[in-house]
Amino acid sequence: MDRRCRFCRAPLSRTFVNLNSSPLANSLLDAESCNGMEPRYPLHAFVCEQCFLVQLDAVVTPEHIFGDYVYFSSYSESWLAHCRDYSRKMIGRFGLSKESRVVEVASNDGYLLRNFVEAGIPVLGVEPAANVAKVAEAAGVPTRVVFFGAASAAALKAEGFAADLMCANNVLAHVPDINDFVEGFRILLKPQGVATFEFPHLLNLMQQNQFDTIYHEHFSYISLLAAERIFAAHGLAVIDVEELATHGGSLRLYVTHKGARPEGEAVGKLRAKEAAARLDAIGTYSSFASGVVDTKCELLAFFIEARRAGRQVVGYGAPAKGNTLLNYCGIGPELMPYTVDISPHKQGKFLPGTRIPIRHPQAIFETKPDYVLILPWNLKDEITRQMAGVSAFGAKFVTAIPRLRVH
């Protein structure tokens, strides 16, 4: 197979980690679907030896993944607070007003753009999932249902939607044609405009053993090193960067047309940090896979010991990362009888692959399990606060990343 890097087109053969095969992480099942066959796809991540972009093969089309999406951003309190803070910061830093235009790519249910609407700033959301975009429209956020790229950006620019600020939260990793996607920003961004990109930092993924964030929706796993090369190829430059706590450790890059604004000190500091971690040396990527196997063994041993001791373990959450973890580790309803989720869009369905039922959080207080495995470990503080009542019957919280821990 002639496998090529999605950015630089160099031959791609070096394994980063192989998580075997898995169903699409957000393709929840209904009861009827549980009686049929379920497609599974290779979940094998490679690292490019030329540009150091970690990536999956695009074995599934974006249209398949995002046609009827189940992830609605508005169900995480901490994420909503993060977006409110972002909106206030951008308005102040760049002097945005009613004369400005903010365009968000992958705008989901309008959770972020609502903040700009409330401030009287014109916005446009670009969202490929029609069911999610419909919610945004109902909330007063104008939204176009389209996959973003060079062609759609040119069409939007021709309609007068050139942007002073463009934002792309947790989407750069989701696009199979990363060159076409970034070119769209070059086209739609005004000459002095700024685009911000947030994505999980590859360095944190490696240092914190966050292998469960690898799933088919995430085509790429990105460092500043790789990102700067991608943007430069399209006449764009990173002028500032922030390290964020979201999603287990993310980057927020501030990107402009090359030469439009000066580069800040933070960019050089992060370059040095990645260089110290040797992200520019291909051998650095070779040791990651062994820690993944260790986590699998630890988690399976925990479930087996709990079962033999007559203790029940249930889950909290139905995130994509949890489905990677459970499928790779081979944990099904025989070991974890159910999980719960606060989103009504997920309740009553079943996790892909493992077919573990998803219930309302109240189920935990009804069945009184001994342990609650938090699948969205990046929201651990929020979840333990919301579910503090489990201490009344002695339940303990468990996380599996970066290593198994009973809280």
Domain with residue 114: its CATH number is 3.40.50.150
- Which CATH number is 369's domain given? 3.40.50.720
Q: Is residue 185 part of a domain?
A: yes
Asked, for residue 19, whether it belongs to a domain, the answer is: no
Is 386 found in the same domain as 246? no
Q: What is the pLDDT of residue 62?
A: 59
CA atoms within 13 A on the CB side of 308: 6
| Domain annotation covers residue 254 | yes
231/103 same-domain check: yes
What stretches of 132-279 adopt beta strand conformation (E)? Answer: 143-144, 163-169, 189-200, 220-221, 236-244, 250-257
59 CA to centre of own chain: 18
Residues 295 and 154 in one domain: no
**Does the residue 175 lie in any domain?**
yes
Kindly compute the dihedral angle of the four CA atoms of residues 189, 194, 200, 202, in this order, to the nearest 10 degrees: 90
> Has this prediction a pTM greater than 0.75?
yes
Question: Of the given ranges (61-75, 234-248, 301-315), which has the lowest mean pLDDT?
Answer: 61-75
Q: What's residue 157's pLDDT?
A: 98
Provide the domain limits for residue 150.
73-260
> Per-residue pLDDT tens for 139-179?
899 999 999 999 999 999 999 999 999 999 989 998 999 99
Q: In total, how many domains does the chain have? A: 2
Tokens found for residue 244: 């964020």
The pLDDT tens digits for 348-366 are 999 999 999 999 999 999 9
Strands 313-316 and 339-340, sheet pairing: parallel
Count of helices and strands (H, E) across the chain: 13, 17
Is the bond preceding 352 in cis, omega lying within 30 degrees of 0? no
Note whether residue 270 is domain-resident: no
Q: 168: which residues sit within 8 A by CB, 6+ positions away? A: 104, 105, 106, 185, 195, 196, 197, 198
193 and 331 co-located in one domain: no
Across the chain, what does the average pLDDT equal?
93
Angstrom distance (rounded) from CA 172 to CA 182: 8
256 and 334 fall within a common domain: no
Residues 361/395, Cβ–Cβ less than 8 Å: no
Is the same domain home to 94 and 191? yes
Instruction: List strands edge to edge, sheet with 220-221.
Output: 14-22, 41-47, 54-56, 220-221
CB 104 within 8 A of CB 136: no
Whole-number pLDDT of residue 127: 93
Same domain membership, residue 329 and residue 249: no
* Residues 135, 228 within the same domain: yes
